[in-house]
Structure formats: structure tokens, C-alpha cells
Amino acid sequence: MGESYAALMPANPYNWIAVWRRNFLAWRKVALASVLGNLADPITNLFGLGFGLGLIVGRVDGTSYIAFLAAGMVATSAMTSATFETMYATFARMDAKRTWEAILSTQLTLGDVVLGELVWAASKSVLAGTAIGIVAATLGYASWASILYAMPMVALTGLVFASLAMVVISLAPSYDYFVFYQTLILTPMVFLCGAIFPMSQLPSSFQQVAGFLPLAHSVDLIRPAMLERAASGGAAFHVGALCMYAVLPFFVSTALFRRRLLR
Amino acid sequence: MSSAAIELAGVRKSFGDKIIVDELSFSVARGECFGLLGPNGAGKSTIARMLLGMISPDAGKITVLNEPVPARARVARVRIGVVPQFDNLELEFTVRENLLVFGRYFGMSARKVETIVPSLLAFARLESKADVRVAHLSGGMKRRLTLARALINDPHLLVMDEPTTGLDPHARHLIWERLRVLLARGKTILLTTHFMEEAERLCDRLCVLESGRKIAEGKPDALIDEHIGCDVIEIYGGDPHEFVEPLRPYARHIEVSGETLFCYAPYPEQVRVQLRGRAGLRILQRPPNLEDVFLRLTGREMEK
């Protein structure tokens, strides 16, 4: 059992790149639409929420609301783009399109495939985060350099949520089940984790719960980076927590995928 | 170095309390075409997946290209080409891109793949389709591309799960012809099929399966000789049970399947005499084939 589980792990440090490149090639064919979508979404949100709410709210946490929100949106969009890439595109490749089946008949292991998919989903997060960053920097709500500083945290956030979504798709019988994850886990997280308003607005019991959620750690890393402040609570602590959230689900989902696919 | 490409010994597999593969043993020599023949649900695909290490057996020992499977299946797969039962090509990619992406899974550089793409396309008769999206190919072309893709790592062994299921006769004959070319080049082929004709034409040896058990094994003509060994007369167009008793003295064996009576007749003329004057009967005399072997062994027809 233990030995055969070990055989599922990535066979070497670079096999996953072939999987990533397969997804990149597929993405390149629809790149223009994908980039436009990634830009249009934050522009609408920043204008709609930022100007609309921003006028009422005024300054938050020592900065303009729109700058506060832009940083929160970089974190949430890293979360949603990695999640949706995994729940829809990766699920299709694992299930209906039989892409994984084809890959698993080569010298790649299940771990290689999962890792390649995770890094790919994180890449989509970086793309989405960059798009918002460009919009925010163009409008003067963040410096161009700060966008660059935020990108490693965006990538880590993408890995975390791809890894969590991987567990969801390893269990879900069909697309219909994803809505539970979305409405019961992701949407509450957006409101609990300080993406749209400061966590200090929440009752203290909610604040304690939120402190454990991965998006809270992402927001606590990305917002200070974009506003060029020091991370509250220590950056290393947040990075460590996110690494746990990225790595543990990887092992869980790989075991679950074996049960689902290799039997 | 052992000469066998594949060796199974006492392999068992069940899902829940359903036994899928039951104490199965066989061995495939290098350069041989070995067929797993049986109806749907006989366990053929499960066996194919076990050879690739994608399913672990509950008991027994599997060795493929000298590697213990599933423990070192990944190493074995470096020298295996796989044609799966259902096409899993990249529909949005061109033919060339499919080969490129698949080559990368074997650690091949784009340049390396580019150098062998022309010969693979020529082999699959897809030279003019290199830059066509796979979604636009016919079923036969997709199957040939899957075959070309399986050859990208220059495998010693090809594992093919129903390579021609769902193809029209023309496309099927083209695949058979291509497989014979591969055998002439010294490749080992393990194929699963429920087409008797496919098994008879291609396989050096085969193993007939029913419900995960081996019910016969050998060369196709030897199996036919051993189990039938005479001409077969098919009679249909009436109630087949009506003829069982009158024909019994003249037949080595009689099987009724559906509305057809199969009479294994060493002296077919005597059978014909018995049937003379019966109106509306259709009588077909033919040499025996593997289908008869299967019917003889199991008392039922293969699913078509």
C-alpha cells in the first residue's frame, strides 16, 4: 500500500512540465479571449464597486477604498481563477476528455499529472492577478513595482486553491457538485477574509475562524505588498500556512484520484 | 534476460464481490501477436490496464518487459505503446501537435519529435493531415493517429484495447494491414478484441476468456481443429429445435443459438440429405472459425 502510493508520486522534478506545456498550448489557441476576459472583469469590478462604494465608504485602513479593494481583488481573483480552472478545465481533462488517461499510459505518474495541473492553474492565477494589477497601477492605486512584489504571493495563492479544488474534483461525481464548494466555502471566504472590507469589522468569533482560512493569509500577504507596508503578523507565518494548504491537499487528492481512476 | 514480453501468473482481481479476472496465467513471447478474445465484460480491458500498472491485481504476479508490474510499471511504460479502447486524442490540437505533446510526455524534445513525425504520419497514412485539427478527422483517421501516437516512443510492446471497434470494414482492414507491418518489424502486440475475424487474421496465439477465466488458449487454427475440426452447417429460417433430434446421428455436435442451429458435421452431405424437401430453410455450409470455438466452449454466441 505505502510502496504503491509512493509510486504515484512525481517521478522526477521536471516531468510535470510536459503537462503544463500541454495546457499552455491549449490556452494559446484561446489566449486573446482569455486575456480580454481577465482584463474586463477587474475593470468592471473596480469601477462598479470602487467608485460606487468608494464614494460612500471613503478611506479604509489608512488608504482609499478603491486601493484597498484592488488589493483584495488580486487575492480573490487568484483564488477564483485557480479554482475554476481546476473545477472545470482540469475536471474535463480528468473525466470526459480522457486527457489524463492518455497521459497516464506514458511514463508519467499520477503525481506528475496533478503537479502539472496545479502549476498550470497557479499560472492562470498569476495571469488574472497581473491583469488586475495592471488596471490598478494604470489608475494609480498601486505602484508598478508593488505589483511585481505581489506576484509570488499570487502564485502561491493559486497553488493553494488549485490544490484544494483538486480534492473537490477528485470526489465530485459531476460538475453539479461544484456549486456546493463555491457557495458554501468560497463565497463566504471572500467576505470573511478581509478581501472587501477589513476583518476588524467582523464579530471577534468570526475573526478567529477567518484567521484559519487560506484566503485570509493571502490577503494579509498581498495587500501589504501592494500598499507597500509590512505584513501584519509576519510574512513567514502566512507563507508557511499557505504552503501547508498547498501541499497537504496535493497528497490527499492524489490518493483520491488513484481510488477514482486507477482501479 | 527472459524471452517473454509479458508473463501473468495466477492473477486475480475483483471489484467488490464481483470477480473480474480469475486465476489467469499466460505468457506472450517477444515478436508475437497475442489476442485476448472474449465478449464484453470478460475482463479484457481490466487485464490490459493491469499490464500497464493502472490497476493492481489482488493476487498473482505480472511481469512486462522484464519489469515487475505494477511496482515498476512506469519503467515498463517507457517501452510500451498504448492504443486505448476509446480515443483520447486532443481534439482541439492538430495531428502534428498531438504527436508533439505526446512525445513530451516521454521526455522527447520538440526537435526530436519533429524528426520522426514524417515517418509516423506516413505509417498512419495521414501525411496530408498534419496540420488538420483532430476534431475534423474521420473515425478511422483518429484511430490511425492513435496508433501513430502509440509508436512515438518506438515501443517494444503495443497494448491495444479493441483497436478496431466502431470502425467501418474499410478502416478496419487498413488498421489490420498496418498492424501486420508492425509485427513484421518485430514488435510484440497484445490486443483485446471481440472480433473473431480480427483474432483469426492477426494473432499468432490467443486466449479465449469468459467471465475473467481462460477457457482456451492456443494458435487460432489449432483451437479450431481441436474443438471443431469439421465443416459447420448453419440452418435457419425455421424452429431450430425441431431439427436437433433428426440431425443428431449425423453430427459431431449441435448448438442452437438464437434462431440458428449450428451442426458440426464431418459428413455434411448426410446432413443435407436429412434437410432435403424442407421449405423455407436457409442452409449455409462453411469452414469452421473461432466463433464456433467460442460457441462450442460456452454454449453462446459472442456479442457482435
Examine residue B266 and say whether the peptide bond preceding it is cis (omega within 30 degrees of 0): no
**From the CA of A106, how many Å to the nearest CA of chain B?**
6
CB contact B112 to A (< 8 Å): no
Q: What is the mean pLDDT of residues A188-203?
A: 93
CB contact A18 to B (< 8 Å): yes
State what percent of residues in chain A have pLDDT above 70. Answer: 99
Question: Which pLDDT score, from 0 to 100, does residue B39 have?
Answer: 84
Residue A71 grid coordinates: 488589493
Is pLDDT at A8 greater than 80 in this prediction?
yes
End-to-end CA distance of chain B: 40
Count CA atoms closer than 13 A to B243's CA, side-chain side: 30
Q: Which of B56, B106, B153 lies at the smallest CB-CB distance from A4?
A: B56
pLDDT, tens digit, for every residue of B141-199? 999 999 999 999 999 999 999 999 888 899 899 999 999 999 999 999 999 998 888 99
Answer for the pair B155, B80: CB distance below 8 angstroms, yes or no. yes
CB contact A109 to B (< 8 Å): yes
**From the CA of B50, how many Å to the nearest CA of chain A?**
9
Mean pLDDT of chain B: 91
B300: confidence class by pLDDT, cuts 50, 70, 90: low
DSSP-derived secondary structure for B151-173: TTT--SEEEEESTTTT--HHHHH
From B93, B157, B145, B86, select the one nearest B120 (Cα to Cα). B145
Q: Give the dihedral sign, CA B30/B121/B91/A254.
A: positive
Question: Which pLDDT score, from 0 to 100, does residue B242 have?
Answer: 82
In chain A, what residues touch B107 (CB-CB under 8 Å)? 15, 18, 107
Question: Which pLDDT score, from 0 to 100, does residue A232 have?
Answer: 80
CB contact A107 to B (< 8 Å): yes
Is pLDDT at B243 greater than 50 in this prediction?
yes
Is pLDDT at A53 greater than 90 in this prediction?
no
Mean pLDDT of chain A: 92
**Which residue carries 460538475 as its cell?**
A175
Query: What are the helix (H) ranges across chain B?
Result: 44-51, 73-77, 95-105, 110-123, 139-150, 169-184, 196-202, 220-227, 244-247, 268-275, 290-298
A262: confidence class by pLDDT, cuts 50, 70, 90: confident
Question: Which pLDDT score, from 0 to 100, does residue B240 have?
Answer: 82
Least confident segment among A27-36, A51-60, A195-204, B211-220: A51-60
In chain B, what residues touch A22 (CB-CB under 8 Å)? 90, 101, 104
Answer for the pair B292, B264: CB distance below 8 angstroms, yes or no. yes
Q: Which of B104, B146, B149, B158 to mutate to test the interface with A (most CBs of A within 10 A)?
A: B104
Gyration radius of chain B over CA positions: 22
Is pLDDT at B303 greater than 70 in this prediction?
no
Identity of the highest mean pLDDT range in A52-61, A249-258, B231-240: A249-258
Q: Which residue of B has its CA nearest to A14?
A: B107
Burial of residue A257 (number of CB atoms within 10 Å: 0-12, 13-18, 19+): buried
Question: Which pLDDT score, from 0 to 100, does residue B33 have?
Answer: 97
Answer for the pair B266, B230: CB distance below 8 angstroms, yes or no. yes
Q: Which of A93, A106, A108 to mutate to test the interface with B (most CBs of B within 10 A)?
A: A106
Q: Does A3 sit within 8 Å of B71, measured CB to CB?
A: yes
Q: Does B92 sit within 8 Å of A107, measured CB to CB?
A: no
Question: Which pLDDT score, from 0 to 100, does residue B304 have?
Answer: 44
Q: Does B56 sit within 8 Å of A21, measured CB to CB?
A: no
H-run or E-run covering A250:
helix A235-261
Cβ atoms < 10 Å from Cβ of B131: 9
Q: Does B153 sit within 8 Å of A105, measured CB to CB?
A: no
Question: Which residue has better confidence, A129 or A7?
Answer: A129
Question: Which pLDDT score, from 0 to 100, does residue A52 have?
Answer: 82
H-run or E-run covering A94:
helix A91-94
Q: Does A25 sit within 8 Å of B101, measured CB to CB?
A: yes
d(CA B146, CA B87): 7
In the sheet with B80-83, reading across from the earlier edge strand, the strands are B80-83, B157-161, B188-193, B33-37, B205-210, B213-218
Question: Which pLDDT score, from 0 to 100, does residue B14 have?
Answer: 94
d(CA B263, CA B260): 10
Question: Which residue has better confidence, A73 or A55?
Answer: A73
* Separate counts of helices (H) and strands (E) for chain A: 14, 2
**From the CA of A61, how many Å to the nearest CA of chain B?**
48
Least confident segment among B93-102, B225-234, B256-265, B270-279: B270-279
In chain B, what residues touch A97 (CB-CB under 8 Å)? 88, 91
Residue B222 grid coordinates: 489449432
Q: Which of A105, A257, A259 to mutate to test the interface with B (most CBs of B within 10 A)?
A: A105
Is pLDDT at A1 greater than 80 in this prediction?
no
CB contact A33 to B (< 8 Å): no
Residue B138 grid coordinates: 474521420
**From the CA of B74, how many Å to the nearest CA of chain A?**
5
Q: Which of B15, B77, B90 lies at the smallest CB-CB distance from A105?
A: B77
Q: Which residue of A has its CA nearest to B54?
A: A262
d(CA B113, CA A60): 57
Q: How many CB contacts within 8 angstroms connect chain A with chain B?
A: 69
Q: Does B102 sit within 8 Å of A102, measured CB to CB?
A: yes
**From the CA of B205, how many Å to the nearest CA of chain A?**
25
Answer for the pair B71, B63: CB distance below 8 angstroms, yes or no. no
pLDDT, tens digit, for every residue of A129-159? 999 999 899 988 899 999 999 999 999 999 9
**Which amino acid, B167?**
L
Residue B178: partners with Cβ closer than 8 Å, 6 or more residues away:
B123, B124, B144, B147
Q: Any idea what DSSP says for residue B232? A: E
Is pLDDT at B42 greater than 60 in this prediction?
yes
* pTM for this entry: 0.92
Question: Which pLDDT score, from 0 to 100, does residue B301 have?
Answer: 59
Question: Which pLDDT score, from 0 to 100, does residue A77 have?
Answer: 93
Question: Which pLDDT score, from 0 to 100, does residue A14 have?
Answer: 94
Q: Does A109 sit within 8 Å of B105, measured CB to CB?
A: no
Q: Sort strands B260-265 and B157-161 into parallel, antiparallel or unpaired.
A: unpaired
From A165, A151, A9, A180, select the one nearest A87 (Cα to Cα). A165
CA A91 to chain centre: 16
Is pLDDT at B45 greater than 60 in this prediction?
yes
d(CA A250, CA A114): 8
Answer for the pair A81, A132: CB distance below 8 angstroms, yes or no. no
Is pLDDT at A43 greater than 60 in this prediction?
yes
Is pLDDT at B2 greater than 80 in this prediction?
no
